[in-house]
Structure 1
């Protein structure tokens, strides 16, 4: 039975304060499989992979003996393990077995843990996982496609889980559309009603269980909503974006409205609104169930 999906806040609560952490951030490579900015699968594109391992106990033997012992994770070998997974996926893509963005994350996760992202044993467990989960409190793996957005800085999918005695206790999956820059008619001042200005949107969907690539159509939903906007406030625009995203997600054939509740994070920034600040920002956090109830 799959471990239920939770939000990032719930995972932080389940983990508690970490004792020790090992990170590899933005490991660069290429991938052929996930859809590109136009929704085309199997096109080569750059990829960034980050992994964070929160350990169940502070560094003991590693610090006292000044060696890389079993109570820590060798970040060099961790990097090589991730790159080995990406290399295998490239070979499979060349043979016509291209993976989705979720598939890329799932394969990295399985090779590191011996489990799939739902907590069940995977085929990787037969050859041995890279991590010894008895030392792991939390694992997070994030994959960013920097060229998979037409108007943004990238698309990312992150998987996280909290472990206890090598067993997955809680997990999360989050899809993000990062830095969408969209000309938008927005603002309460007279000058803001005369022309569109750039609004930067950062969109997150937590408790995201779909294994199909949906970042391109989701971006189109957000951009279309912002382009048609004539709101005076970012608060009203954020609520409208949440409504349109909920409609799209509820209509997806892979996801059933009766079994899924997505947690939405919609951040909007107006870089030109306050002359002597980087931006004016508003963020809405809500769920698709709450959007339906309020509509």
Structure 2
């Protein structure tokens, strides 16, 4: 359905800075160093928060987002360094320990944003999704990597490189691959920089083939990829023409046979 919401009743806390920033993930050079981290959580409730609304007072049909934020900000490092997946798991446990906890929450989405973890991109985002304690999903998102590229069908576009922004989402990534974004960025830049395609469509297919053959997490049977290419100089009266392509693991495998 167009415009479908992420929940019927729920709350979201966005871009929360932690008071005791954990050393988690790797920096843009792949080192286990302290770096900025912003946390967003989205909670979908099992039922409506009608009683809180009718009484105009907080009760167990909702969660106090101020208390949730306080509990999350108080989260402390438990070791010298931990993976993003380990941190996401601890964040989830903190959410469940915030009243009313599990009895209220049907699903939970945790987003760990690393604004300095990409050399050429806007940020890295690690998304950790849990539904009813049974299904856990993970997405690694590398946002808007800037790669000057020779791309275009017009004569003027064949004379010089222009701006290209590349975004990638790796869906159903494994927990052990939560720090693979530096490898992903390296493969993208090395693959795209020397190319001279005329269309974004051809470039997109080429990039997916390169990723499938060289990026280790895509060798998993269940892992799929979404790729977005933005070419801001191409249309003078628009911010950018954009193409997107999504391929499942089976479709990726068929592309490189």
Q: Is the 8 A contact 1:81 1:130 kept in 2?
A: no
Q: RMSD between aligned alpha carbons?
A: 2.2
The structure-2 alpha-carbon separation of the partners of 1:232 and 1:131, relative to structure 1 and needing over 3 Å to count, comes to farther
Q: 2:26 aligns with which of 35, 41, 52?
A: 35
TM-score, L = length of structure 1: 0.79
Q: Please tell me whether residue 186 in structure 1 is matched to residue 151 in structure 2.
A: yes
Which fold has the larger relative contact order, with Cα–Cα distance below 8 Å and residues 6 or more apart in sequence?
1
Q: After the TM superposition, which residues 105-144 of structure 1 pair with which residues of structure 2 at under 5 Å, given as runs?
A: 105-113=88-96, 128=97, 132-144=101-113
Q: Deviations over 1:221-255 (max 9, x none)?
A: 11111112111111111111111211233xx3xx6
- 5+ long unaligned stretches in structure 2: none
Which of these residues, 286, 292, 295, is aligned with residue 247 of structure 2? 286
Alignment of 1:70-85 (within 5 A): 70-85=60-75
- The count of residues paired between Structure 1 and Structure 2 equals 251
**4+ long deviations beyond 6 Å:** none
Counterpart residue number, 2:45: 55
Cα shift readout 1:64-91 (whole Å, capped 9, x = no counterpart): 2222111101111111222222xx22x5
Distance 1:248 1:106 in 2: 29
| Separation of aligned partners in 2, 1:266 and 1:211 | 22
Change (3 A) 1:264 1:256: closer
Structure with greater proportional strand content: 1
Taking a change above 3 Å as real, the CA distance of residues 230 and 256 of structure 1, as seen in their structure-2 partners, is: closer
Q: Partner residue of 1:92?
A: 79
Is it true that 1:222 corresponds to 2:167 in the alignment?
Answer: no
Distance 2:65 2:193 in 1: 44
Matched residue, 1:121: none
In 2, distance between residues paired with 1:162 and 1:197? 43
Structure 1 unmatched runs, 5+: 1-8, 114-127
Distance across 1 between alignment mates of 2:9 and 2:180 = 35
Which residue of the partner structure matches residue 122 of structure 1? none
Q: How do residues 140-155 of structure 1 correspond to structure 2 at under 5 angstroms?
A: 140-155=109-124
1:218 is paired with a residue whose SS is helix
* Equivalent in the alignment of 1:260: 221
- TM-score, normalised relative to structure 2: 0.90
Residue in structure 2 matched with residue 245 of structure 1 by the alignment? 211
Whole-Å separation in 1 of the counterparts to 2:104 and 2:152: 52
Partner Cα distance (2:106, 2:128) in 1 = 14
